[in-house]
Each structure stands twice: as C-alpha cells, then as structure tokens.
Amino acid sequence: MKIIEWLEELWSYRELFYFLVWRDIIVRYKQTVLGATWVVIQPFGSMIVFTVLFGELAKMPSDGVPYAVFSFAALVPWSYFASSIGRSGNSLVGNAHLITKVYFPRIALVASSTLSGLLDYGISFLVLLGLMHYFGIQLGWKILLWPLLTIVLVLLSFGVGLILSSLNVKYRDIGHTIPFAMQLWFFATPIIYPTSIIPENYRGLASLNPMWAIIDGFRFAILPSRQADWQQLSISLAFTLLLLVIGLIYFRNTERDFADIL
C-alpha cells in the first residue's frame, strides 16, 4: 500500500483512534481509590527517595540547583517514556480479541498507547512547575524548548513501541523483557546523576543512548545553570528518527500476520 493510501486509511479511522486513547486513560484509573493522583505519586515518591539517598546521603552533584528539582525534571519525561514503552510494547498482545475479530489499522493501538500518557505527563509537568516555584527557580526563554523536546520524546516512544509490539506478537518473551530492559535503560540515562560526572572517554558510548541527550535537554529547558549540548541533541534526534522509520517499516511488514499469530 502506498504511503498516501495508508495515511488516508489511518485518517478514515480517526474516530476509533480517539476512542482508543480515551479508553486507555479511563481504564488506567478505573476502580482506583486515588484515581489520577497516581500520576503524581510515582515520580514524586521516586524524587523523594532519590533526594534522600543521592542528594543528602551520597551528596550527588545537581548542577547548582536543589536535588529535588534536578531529579524531578528528569523523572517527568522518563516516567512518560517508560510507561509508554510498557503500554505500547504490550498493546497488540493485550488487544488480541480486537485484532482477531475486527479489521482496523493495528498501528492505532500502538499510537493510542503512546499518546494516552500525555495527560499524565502534562499533570506531572505542572507539579514540576510548582516545585520550581517552591524553591524559587525562575523560568526563562528556554522553557520554549520543552514542547519541542516533548515531540522528540513522543516520536522516540512511538518508534520503540512499534518495534517491541511487533516483536512481542511473535516472541512473547519480549513482554517479560521490557520491564527489566527499562530498568537497565534507567540507570544508563542521567536521571539520578548529572552528565558532568561521566568521564570524557565514555561520552561517545553514552551518546548511543538517545534518552541521554533528551533528558539533558529537558533539564536545560528549565534550569538556569544548565548548558545545552546541541551536538548530542542532534545525535539523539537522528537516532529517534532512525528508530521511528525502522519501527514503521517493520510494523508494516509484519502486521498482516498479527491476526494469524495471535
């Protein structure tokens, strides 16, 4: 199917896409006592633990700002990324009953799993702004980069989600591997530590992690003391686009077999 025809098909199913996004949001907090409060509890709780362990006890440097703000500025985008990968990676297997009964563009399941987390992400960002106000940190013009970095973050999540969801249909081990892989990815990303403590000879290896420069970019967007590494950001953007293209191609080549395998 040509690209134009494929895009037209996706547009014709836009109402289903909206429904899937809204369904993911509703189901996530249905029959929970605290409801959407869980959006804030997880990253905020992690921030408190990290502040005590690494900020107070280990005296981890935080680029001249309170460690609570330093860590939470990274936890907001990371929490979105990790949860999006978890949902999208299992979106096809988790909706096998739909795939085997009704035809619709399967990519809508991955896309809805990725975009539904933006509501949580937006709420967490408001909490971050409140935290910055509490510590007296003023926002500057650099905050305009936050939406642009968010787009890159969504594209990266979508690209990785396409690859993992397709693989998970055929190899169910992927679903079990995702949580463990995200834990390793977490520690390979400068969330609890600044990039400045990484030796120069390891910077090249670190740049292979697209989230490395993205997280650093988010800190640059809100923290006055941060400097941007535009070269690393360019590399991360290139990796993001590459993963997105690979994900789209692989997904298109394998989706015709999803119903038979599931």
Decide: 250 and 166 in contact? Cβ < 8 Å: yes
Q: What is the pLDDT along the chain (262 residues), one digit of tens a residue?
A: 555 666 677 778 788 888 888 888 777 777 665 656 767 778 888 888 988 988 888 888 888 889 999 999 999 999 999 999 999 999 999 888 888 887 888 888 999 999 988 988 998 999 999 999 999 988 888 899 999 999 999 999 999 999 999 999 988 889 889 999 999 999 999 999 988 888 878 777 887 899 999 999 999 998 877 777 788 899 999 999 999 999 999 998 888 888 777 6
Residue 122 to residues 75, 89, 161: CA-CA distances in angstroms?
13, 22, 20
The full DSSP string for the chain is --HHHHHHHHHHTHHHHHHHHHHHHHHHHTT-SSGGGHHHHHHHHHHHHHIIIIIIIS----TTS-HHHHHHHHHHHHHHHHHHHHHHHTHHHHTHHHHTT----THHHHHHHHHTTHHHHHHHHHHHHHHHHHTTPPP-GGGGHHHHHHHHHHHHHHHHHHHHHHHHHH-THHHHHHHHHHHHHHHTSTTSS-GGGS-GGGHHHHTTSHHHHHHHHHHHHH-TT----HHHHHHHHHHHHHHHHHHHHHHHHHGGGHHHH-
Q: CB-based burial of residue 40 (10 Å sphere; 0-12 exposed, 13-18 middle, 19+ buried)?
A: middle
Domain ranges of the chain: 3-261
pLDDT tens profile 38-92: 677 788 888 889 889 888 888 888 888 899 999 999 999 999 999 999 999 999 9
How far, in Å, CA of 112 to CA of 232, rounded?
A: 29
Residue 14 to residues 9, 10, 94, 107: CA-CA distances in angstroms?
9, 7, 21, 12
Q: Which residues contact 152 (CB under 8 A, 6 or more apart)?
A: 214, 236, 237, 240
